[in-house]
Amino acid sequence: MERKPPSACSTHSSAARCLLAGGAALAAGWYWAQRVSIPPEVLPVEDFDVERYQGHWYEIARIDYLFERGLTSCTADYSMNADGTVRVFNQGFDPEKGVWKSAKAVARFIGAHTEGALKVSFFRPFYSGYYVVHVDDDYQCAVVVGDGCRYCWVLSRSPEMNDKLYAGLLSVAAANGVDISRMHRVPHGAQPDPED
């Protein structure tokens, strides 16, 4: 009877090597899931004040992505957690289904808390970039670039914005590597559900 060669993990030493290799792969995956770097064309705000940034924002315009596609009346709320991270609560109305959708996330500063460069996670341990590239002196409007310039949001404390201001904020987005032809205005008017 012909003997079959042992499989790669059939002996103790091979099993140990398999476990080490698997552990190394998991560690590498975790590291890359946590790692976020600022794209070279993106210039986050350098005198960022997270305390003033907190609170309720309306999404004036965005580049669509999977979880927001088709939603209207989108808002974002930011508040500080006790551990220094930022709590994120996003909400939007799905007019096709007649329901509100919401998502919670946590954001962490990549470096100094005075720089508008954060990484945000809706599905831990996976993070993506969240870069505040513009906020006005009164913290009433902002431009955020995300995930390697593939996404962008124009935010305001008010659900309406005049065309001149909007055009200026699109210019800021373009200067930070965003393809502004993909941006679209977000209609508002649906009554939001209270946050749970």
Residue 61: predicted pLDDT: 98
pTM of the predicted structure, to 2 decimals? 0.79
Q: Tell me whether residue 120 is in a domain.
A: yes
Q: Is residue 196 part of a domain?
A: no
Largest CA distance in the chain: 84
25 to 12, 121, 152, 162: CA distances (angstroms): 20, 21, 32, 50
Query: What CATH number corresponds to the domain at position 173?
Result: 2.40.128.20
Residue 6 belongs to a domain: no
64: tokens are 């669509």
Residue closest to 92 by CA, chosen among 84, 103, 82: 103
Ranking 64-73, 115-124, 136-145, 186-195 by mean pLDDT, the lowest is: 186-195
How many independent structural domains does the chain possess? 1
Quick check: is 12 in a domain?
no
Say what the pLDDT of residue 122 is.
Answer: 80
Strand-pairing partners, residue 79, are 87
Residue 148 maps to a domain:
yes
Q: What is the domain range of residue 86?
A: 50-185
Lowest mean pLDDT among 16-20, 150-154, 190-194: 16-20
Cβ proximity of 118 and 86 under 8 Å: yes
163 domain residue, yes or no: yes
Q: pLDDT by residue (tens digit) across 98-142?
A: 999 999 999 999 999 999 999 999 866 778 899 999 999 999 999
- Residue 119 maps to a domain: yes
| pLDDT of res. 149 | 79
**Domain presence at residue 194:** no
Residue 176 CB coordination number (10 Å): 20
CA gap 43, 87 in Å, rounded: 23
